[in-house]
Amino acid sequence: MFFLVISRKWCKGKDDYSVFVDAGFFFGFRRDVKVYHRGGVFPKLLLLFVSILLFVCSSEILTRAYHYARYNRAFFDDRDAGESVVRDERLGWRAREYFHFRYLRRDERGKAYLASGSTGKWGFRASGDIHDTGRRYRILIVGDSFTHALEVGDKETYYAFLRKALPVEIFAYGAIGYGNLQEFMILDEFIDMIKPDLLLMQLCTNDFINNSYELESLSIINNQRMRRPYLNEKGELFYKTPGCVPSLRTWLVSHSRFFSFLFHRWDLALAQFEGCKSVEVEIQNSKGVHQKYEAAKVVTAKVFKKIKERSGKVPVFVFVADRLEPFYGDFRKISKDTGLVFLDGVAAAVWEAHGKGEAVFVQDEGHWSPRGHEVAGLALLTSLKDYLPSFSSQRADDVSHFKKAKRE
């Protein structure tokens, strides 16, 4: 284990001393480096500066070493944006392919469970058989962290229940922090290769924030602080890192994993204080009467039109994972205006189960637990059954046991 000791030795007079740095490892290496020898205030400031510098450097090294050992994350490559995502020039970031995770999670009741899963080629969390000679019905699902689903195992995602109940091939791609434009770009990248029969877009009410550079820059809880693509109100594409102005913080987050961790924790702590209001709260309190939010709705509608045009004759269904207003209602309206089919029962089903005392959420988060994914999967089955030609009434009876399924 690395250790660091900074000490001073008194010399001659009362105010004269030498500053020494002892750095090494417990297995034997040790070195004394004389830094300064003089009395007064300056050596004390130097001592403080050297202490902070060495602490930051050692913390950065330990953070990177931990990421490398735990997640096989590149030690020096800062394009490697996180354990589950990697930086991407076009998308901002994308889901890491062949990523294996094993996390100890707790549901909202505090019950611990093991979430163990993986992504496949191109970062897909679920991949059907592209070369299926029988050409089964194909569903392509694109979303954000609810579809990335790092809170549950491979067999516990909402689309795992769809795949279990339906004779279909499921392709599911999600990445933490994605906005609707990034989801469209994923759709654009893979639709011709997968050739789906149905598109299912998983939305989240914070997408309005992530679709707008101005709103994301003002947000405390939904600012990803990574360079990403945006559309302006004219429909023009641009890339920017959300933040009011380029700052030391932006640079540190982009180049230091230790500071990235610290600032992320700081933002979460700030969000817990009642007096600290993020822009989402302003929009909710004003019931959507907010200039920048109005602009975000215009941009979101443009993205939805792109999804509709790119999908061609393939039907597009959308559902929202949570139900915060006015965002939820605005998603419903924009979907209707752009010709996308809005599925209205998923978030309601999850919250209904929550109201009955079921542990459908992960502790201290809004993401779904295994039971939450199960409830969402059943709600989607109910919503989609009339649109799937292969979904018979007999098969609907077959999946009725999901309603009774309870997790211990």
| pLDDT per residue as tens digits for the range 368-386 | 999 999 999 999 999 998 7
284/333: higher pLDDT: 333
Q: Please check whether residues 352 and 388 belong to one and the same domain.
A: yes
Question: What integer pLDDT is reported at residue 372 of this predicted model?
Answer: 96
Lowest mean pLDDT among 90-104, 109-123, 251-265, 342-356: 251-265
Q: What is the pLDDT of residue 219?
A: 85
Domain identity same for 60 and 105? no
Same domain, 124 and 269: yes
Q: Which of 17, 47, 71 is the last residue of a domain?
A: 71
Candidate from 88-97, 140-149, 161-170, 267-276 with smallest mean pLDDT:
267-276
36 pLDDT exceeds 70?
no
Q: Which of 40-44, 88-92, 165-169 has the lowest mean pLDDT?
A: 40-44
Question: Do both 66 and 144 map to the same domain?
Answer: no
Give the end of a domain, one of 71, 100, 122: 71
The verdict on 164 and 62 lying in the same domain is no
- ∠ CA 370-345-380, nearest 5°, is 55
181 shares a domain with 120: yes
> Are 47 and 130 in a shared domain?
no
Is 289 domain-assigned?
A: yes
Same domain, 183 and 220: yes
Give the model's confidence band at 54: pLDDT under 50 very low, under 70 low, under 90 confident, else very high. confident
Residues 170 and 195 in one domain: yes
Q: Does any domain span residue 31?
A: yes
pLDDT of residue 305: 97
The verdict on residue 214 lying in a domain is: yes
- Structural domain total, the chain: 2
Question: 28 pLDDT band (50/70/90 cuts)?
Answer: very low
- Residue 377: which CATH number? 3.40.50.1110
Contact assessment for residue 85 and residue 349, using Cβ atoms and an 8 Å cutoff: no
- Whether 78 is in a domain gets the answer no
Band of the pLDDT at 23, cuts 50, 70, 90?
very low
Most confident of 47-51, 66-70, 137-141, 268-272: 137-141
Asked whether residue 264 is assigned to any structural domain, the reply reads yes
Q: Which residue has the tokens 């993986």?
A: 118
> Sorting pLDDT into bands at 50, 70 and 90, what band is 284?
confident
273, burial (CB in 10 Å: exposed 0-12, middle 13-18, buried 19+):
exposed
Regarding whether 197 and 65 lie in a shared domain, the answer is no
**79 within domain boundaries:** no
**Considering the domain boundaries, does residue 54 fall inside one?**
yes
| 226 and 350 within one domain | yes
Predicted confidence (pLDDT) at residue 290 exceeds the cutoff of 70: yes
Residues 110 and 25 reside in one and the same domain: no
Quick check: is 296 in a domain?
Answer: yes
262 CB-near residues (< 8 Å, 6+ apart): none
Report DSSP letters for 339-393, one per residue: TPEEE-SHHHHHHHHHHTT---BBTTSSSB-HHHHHHHHHHHHHHHTTT-TT--H
pLDDT for the residue 75: 59
Q: Which residue has the tokens 């890339």?
A: 239
Where in the sequence is the domain holding 67, given as residue range(s)? 2-71
User: Residue 159 and residue 156: Cα distance in Å, rounded?
Assistant: 8
- What share of the chain has pLDDT > 90, as a percent? 50
